[in-house]
Amino acid sequence: MNFWTDLRIRTRQFFKKYKNIIIIALVAWAVIFVINMILKYRKEPETPISTYTPNKSIMSDEEVPKKVHTTANKILDEFVEYCNQKQYEKAYNMIDEECREEVYGGIDLFIKHIQEVFGNSKKIYNIQNYSNVGKTYVYNIRILEDIITTGTTGNYNYYEEKIVFKDTNNGIKLCMGGFIGKEEINVIAEDDYMKINIYEKVLRYETEEYRMKITNKTQDTIVLYDGSVSSEIVLDIGNQTRGLENYENGAIIINPGATKEIGMEFTKFFDDGRTANKLIFNSIRVLKSYSGEENRREQELANATKLYSMNIDLK
Amino acid sequence: MKKKEVISFVVLILVTLILAIINFNLFQSKIVKPTQHNEEIKKQYETRGSSNNTVQKSSTDEELAENKLEKLKDMGERDRMETYFAEYIAHVEKEEYEQAYVLLNETFKANYFPTLEEYKNYVKQKYPSMIGVEYNDIERQGEYYILFISIINPLANKGENSSFNQRIVLYERDFNDFELSFSV
């Protein structure tokens, strides 16, 4: 048998034997080729370039998951619609229960706030994702007149605040007024003079508040804060400390044998990546008498039972 | 399968693939492209052959619109918004009130200028016959843009009220598809 005859026979045998494989390979190749051609000639629809990316964090460029921002938009559409229609109770009930209690303490204050913000004309809103920490998504919301229908005639103002969406096991929760959430911490510090039980931490976008019970175990007066010394109480957040914010009563004084409930608030941004390590009482004064008068301070301090400081670990 | 058969199989597949690619390229370069080119020439010829003033005009309008669209696609937000407002104010300046009126938001019109006549009266009274525009600032509120502008009357004498400020709100649905309103 000569070479060509042999090749012809072998080729025929080969194609006969591998016919199916060859057909499948050719079909697969054709399909890939066609898909490739379609993708090559398919033009993406061009849309106007906009710098408005409401669901992209301005702090980190991180995108909020679609599931979260789709629900968040629905919640806000509904919330603003209720407020526009003055259905305040329905709007109020959309807010996370813990937040309702902490921020408004009841529907009356909420209604007052919404009436101030919304007034009597229809309002619209826009949002911008600010930062994300775990499954907590902080947005900035602006509420303003429906400007395309008014042309900003009369005035051009807007109200803004931080709102938060939390992706929880029970769905996506809305928090307003910069409220993030509460955490139980249950830290106890005790010595011969007093007992401090820090039971809760309240997180807001700009602050952390530590709620505690302080018991004076002595027959003397204990002064923790009266503004007479700098940095009397500070929060240690690593390489920085933060002073006590606007303590509303001006002084923290525990009478002999008494227990006082106190909330201490410190500036600390929720998304600053820092953790509070210690609560530091730099100037605890156990005094036989306390008048609060500047001219008697030196004498009262000279007669003090004890002057000391205390660090409470929060971790 | 024997080693020899495997080699033959691989060689055959490669040869088949090479032949298929060559065939496809030949098909593209010798049949598809010339045919397309012929069609284009034919179309151009037909267009030229049947050209008259109307067709030429609409073709020029289409080209202008196409050019405008291409320019808009290359622009950033601020430039696009200024271009849209420039289009609106050009209609006002040329006293093409109907075209300007069409560009206004429907609810805005219903609120402030329910009829074209009312709009005309406002515009005639408010704007100078020759309009200069100074763009002072731009802000974005969600999907809306707010232009802070000064309308200037270049023909005004010294001491006369030669300019006033206005806020323009723009909403862009798509390229060259927008609506606007302004502070009355």
* Interface contact B182-A124, CB threshold 8 A: no
Q: What's the confidence (pLDDT) of residue B111?
A: 95
Q: What's the confidence (pLDDT) of residue B35?
A: 61
Which pair of tokens denotes residue A3? 């070479």
What gap in Å lies between CA B113 and CA B101, rounded to an integer? 9
* Interface contact B181-A52, CB threshold 8 A: no
Interface residues from chain B to A (CB-CB < 8 Å): 5, 8-9, 12-13, 16-17, 20, 72-73, 76-77, 80, 105, 107-108, 111-112, 140-144, 146, 167-169, 171-172, 174-175, 179, 181-184
Q: What band does A119 get if pLDDT is binned at 50, 70 and 90?
A: very high
Report chain A residues whose CB lies below 8 A from the CB of B17: 29
| Among the ranges given (A36-45, A112-121, A276-285), the one the predictor scored with the smallest mean pLDDT | A36-45
Q: What band does A14 get if pLDDT is binned at 50, 70 and 90?
A: confident
Nearest to A52 among B80, B140, B146 (CB): B140
Report chain B residues whose CB lies below 8 A from the CB of A14: 5, 8-9, 12
Say yes or no to pLDDT of A114 above 60.
yes
Q: Give yes or no for a contact between A134 and A166, defined as CB atoms under 8 angstroms apart.
A: no
Q: What's the confidence (pLDDT) of residue B127?
A: 95
Q: What's the confidence (pLDDT) of residue A216?
A: 97
Q: What's the confidence (pLDDT) of residue B34?
A: 59
What gap in Å lies between CA A309 and CA A223, rounded to an integer? 12
Mean pLDDT of chain A: 93
| Among the ranges given (A33-47, A216-230, B3-17), the one the predictor scored with the smallest mean pLDDT | B3-17
What gap in Å lies between CA B183 and CA B164, rounded to an integer? 12
Which pair of tokens denotes residue A135? 């499954």
Give me the mean pLDDT over the A279-302 stretch.
93
Q: What band does B54 get if pLDDT is binned at 50, 70 and 90?
A: low
Q: What band does A54 get if pLDDT is binned at 50, 70 and 90?
A: very high
Nearest to A151 among B12, B72, B108 (CB): B108
What gap in Å lies between CA B89 and CA A134, rounded to an integer? 49
Please tell me which residue of chain A has the smallest CA distance to B7.
A14
Which pair of tokens denotes residue A64? 């909020």
Q: What's the confidence (pLDDT) of residue A294?
A: 86
Measured in degrees and rounded to the nearest 5, phi and psi for residue B51 equal -70, 140
Nearest residue to B149 (alpha-carbon basis) of B72, B82, B79: B82
What gap in Å lies between CA B76 and CA A273, rounded to an integer? 35
What gap in Å lies between CA A162 and CA A71, rounded to an integer? 17
Over the stretch B104-123, which tens digit does the pLDDT of each residue have? 999 999 999 999 999 999 99
What gap in Å lies between CA B96 and CA B102, rounded to an integer? 10
What gap in Å lies between CA B22 and CA B17, rounded to an integer? 9
Q: What's the confidence (pLDDT) of residue A246?
A: 72
Residue of A153, A158, A159, A160 best to disrupt the B interface, most CBs of B under 10 A:
A153
Say yes or no to pLDDT of B154 above 80.
yes
Strands across the sheet with A136-145, in order?
A: A123-133, A136-145, A158-168, A171-175
Please tell me which residue of chain A has the smallest CA distance to B107.
A149
Beta-bridge partner residues of A242: A235
Q: What's the confidence (pLDDT) of residue A307?
A: 96
Report chain A residues whose CB lies below 8 A from the CB of B72: 48
Say yes or no to pLDDT of B46 above 80.
no
Give me the mean pLDDT over the A194-216 stretch.
97
Q: What band does A313 get if pLDDT is binned at 50, 70 and 90?
A: very high
Q: What band does A5 get if pLDDT is binned at 50, 70 and 90?
A: confident
Say yes or no to pLDDT of A120 above 80.
yes
**Residue matched to tokens 């050009």:** B90
What gap in Å lies between CA B135 and CA A147, rounded to an integer? 19
Over the stretch A34-53, which tens digit does the pLDDT of each residue have? 998 888 887 777 888 888 99
In angstroms, the Cα distances linking B129 to A6, B90, B95, B120, B152 are 95, 11, 9, 13, 10
Q: Give yes or no for a contact between A62 and A136, defined as CB atoms under 8 angstroms apart.
A: no
CA distance B130 to chain A (A): 23
Q: What's the confidence (pLDDT) of residue B31?
A: 66
CA distance B51 to chain A (A): 31
Over the stretch B72-109, which tens digit does the pLDDT of each residue have? 999 999 999 999 999 999 999 999 999 999 999 999 99
Which pair of tokens denotes residue B71? 């320019």
**Residue matched to tokens 């400007």:** A147
pTM of the entire structure?
Answer: 0.77
Say yes or no to pLDDT of A256 above 80.
yes
